[in-house]
A and B are shown apart, each in its own frame.
Chain A
Amino acid sequence: MSRLYLYGVTRPREVEERFAEQGIFLIAAEGCAAIVSDLDEGPVEATRRNLLAHADVVEQLHVEAVVLPARFGHVLESGEEAFELLALPEIEQLLERHETTCELTLKGTYEESVLAEVGAELGPLRAAYRAEPSVDAGIALGEAVGEGLSERRAHDASLVLEGLGPLIIDLVSSGPSGELAAFDFALLADRDSVEPIAARLEELAARLSPPLHFKLVGPLPPYSFVHLTSPAVA
């Protein structure tokens, strides 16, 4: 019995030679196929190399056609399990939903100058801190800056989402992940919408930058939009 590492699910098709040489193959059922490779006993290590290899496989195969990427570290104990997985009705539904979609990650980050903009309205607190840069005065000023920054984040994030409007099919927002982070979105869009979205972001940048910087990654497989609502029961 051979264990299999699961990269994701796709439509039945040929696998590029480059991947075939790496031991990656498809287990095909009716209308869908599991992307797998043989796996020895032992744990799957979350090394940089393994993580990037997983991303490489699902992203490359997604260039040609729909791929539902599996979470990293998904192991099937046998080929049988691959067929059970492929037989789930939701797999077909997800494949249909994502036939022409892609995920884009969009992160917004502020330059430090945003703090000066936010602080511009905090004259008395700034003056107090400058007169006596104590911990208490610093916390009072910093807290007010933090609140102002939160408002600024919410404001800019909603401007961006409004600006993108119907180009976006679905959205997962993760909340900012750093002091000067503005937003962190996973966007689901049609593949044809990628360039219009980039063009819209250029327009938004003209209004919001500086201090806001955008980073757009994709088209990626729909990592954030392949949630199974009724996972199979063993």
Chain B
Amino acid sequence: MQRESSAGYLTRAPRSSGLADVLEILLDRGLVIDAYVRVSLVGIELLTIDLRVVIASVDTYLRFAEAVNRLDLRAVDDSKSVPDLFEKGGEEMAETKTKGAVEGGMDAIKEKIGLGGRGGDDDEDEERSGSRPRSGSNDR
């Protein structure tokens, strides 16, 4: 469904390829006729949670500082020994984890509606393209 340009910097999808693409759009955009709004969602708190990650935080600053420092060292350090590489790999993993924590708010929301956090894109695609019994909001 998705294709990438030769350089790989532009990813395209003709349709929303998963819940991550449509979540905000479906809950926050679209035609609303006030007089008829009967939005009776279970988990309506979804609508009131600001999905936007707060960018300016101390945690973010410290992560930025650590990353700049690490990238600096990498640029200086041409001769990487094997232990070095292991060490850096470890750092990267640690950083990924911290990031996960920051974006945890969004993940929690995704989990609540069955997206199961990040990395769920593949099985979303499956579900999307697979046969769905009844399209609608009737199923519960």
Contacts and interface: CB of A to CB of B under 8 A. Distances in A.
A213 to B, nearest CB: 5
Interface in B1-38: 5, 7, 9-19, 21-38
Contact of A138 (B19, B61, B71, B99): B61
A198 B10 CA distance: 8
B88 interface: no
A163 to B, nearest CB: 13
Nearest to B58: A139
B94 interface: no
Contacts of B27: 46, 71-73
Contacts of A24: 135-136
A205 interface: yes
Contact of A70 (B32, B66, B103): B32
A231 interface: yes
B51 interface: yes
A42 interface: yes
Nearest to B32: A71
5 contacts: A52-B124, A142-B63, A217-B15, A226-B29, A232-B35
Given A146-B56, A223-B25, A19 B135 contact: yes
A26 interface: no
A44 B40 contact: yes
Interface in B98-140: 99, 102-103, 113-115, 124, 127-128, 132-140
A179 B53 contact: yes
A115 B67 contact: yes
Given A40-B138, A71-B39, A210-B9, A51 B30 contact: no
Interface in A156-186: 174-179, 186
B137 A5 contact: yes
B93 interface: no
B117 to A, nearest CB: 12
Given A46-B41, A226-B30, 6 more contacts: A38-B138, A46-B113, A122-B68, A133-B65, A142-B62, A179-B63
Contacts of B82: none
Contacts of B34: 231-234
A228 interface: yes
A133 B67 CA distance: 12
- Interface class of chain A by DSSP: mixed
Interface in B44-75: 46, 51-53, 55-56, 58, 60-69, 71-72, 75
B71 A113 contact: yes
Interface in A175-225: 175-179, 186, 198, 201-202, 205-206, 209-210, 212-220, 223-224
A206 B65 contact: no
A39 B127 CA distance: 23
Contacts of A152: none
A42 B52 contact: no
A122 B68 CA distance: 10
A233 B65 contact: no
A88 B64 contact: no
B85 interface: no
Interface in A54-97: 54-57, 59, 68-77, 81, 84-85, 88, 94
